[in-house]
Each structure stands twice: as C-alpha cells, then as structure tokens.
Amino acid sequence: MTLLSANEIRLAYGHQTLLDGVTVAISGGEKVGLVGRNGCGKTSLLK
C-alpha cells in the first residue's frame, strides 16, 4: 500500500534548479533515508 507518492517534482530558487523530474513512492513499512550535499533541496523536497 502506497502511503506517499509524488510525481515529476520540480523546484527552483531564482535561476537555480534544485529538483527536476523527481518521482517518489513510499509504501507502508518502508524505511527511507534522504542524503545529499548542503543546499541540494532535501528539506525543500520534504516541505
């Protein structure tokens, strides 16, 4: 059972694209980690 899904996420601040075409699907019971460099959009993706 899918608890969360998002398709084709795009996020930009000014002229800087942080996320482009990101698709996420999280099912019940899954453990998910989000890893990346500072400023790459991890927190923005969760918002």
pLDDT in tens, 1-47: 999 999 999 989 899 998 899 999 999 999 989 899 998 888 887 88
Measure Cα distances from 35 to 1, 15, 18, 27, 42 in Å: 24, 23, 14, 19, 7
Determine the pLDDT at residue 18: 84
Determine the pLDDT at residue 42: 87
User: How many angstroms separate the CA atoms of 34 and 43, rounded?
Assistant: 9
Determine the pLDDT at residue 46: 80
